[in-house]
Amino acid sequence: MRQDDRAERLLVRLFPDYGAEWPVWGSRGAGRQGLLSPAHFPGLPADLVEDLRSWQRRWEDKHPEPWIDRRPPQAAERQAELDRLAQRLAAEVSGTADVQTDTWSSTG
């Protein structure tokens, strides 16, 4: 793949944020990152969409106050689950996007 092609691919990052529908964010090249929606991924399996939404809800339930830094004992387990979801998403979008997780955001 040429360098120019890689710059135009969608970079999908998985990490939680308060009020987000699901933990899926994206950008192209040096462009601004923003929350993506399931509509950005036509044909994405409904069970994967629901699993991502569920992961986001559970994260937010465990972190009700954004200004308090907590490292719950389940952080490693939650990160492992997000990594598995990232692998599933990467398999679905491999032709158009690269997928990665943000460890700090998902465990904190």
Per-residue tokens: 66:
């954004």
Q: What beta strand segments (E) does 1-108 contain?
A: 10-14, 24-28, 34-35, 97-101
What pLDDT sits at residue 45? 97
**Average pLDDT of span 13-33:** 87
**How far apart (Å, rounded) are the C-alpha atoms in residues 75 and 62?**
10
Is the pLDDT score of 6 beyond 60? no
Taking the model in full, what pTM does it have? 0.81
**How far apart (Å, rounded) are the C-alpha atoms in residues 21 and 38?**
9
Is the pLDDT score of 5 beyond 60? no
Q: How many CB atoms lie within 10 A of CB 40?
A: 15
**How far apart (Å, rounded) are the C-alpha atoms in residues 40 and 42?**
6
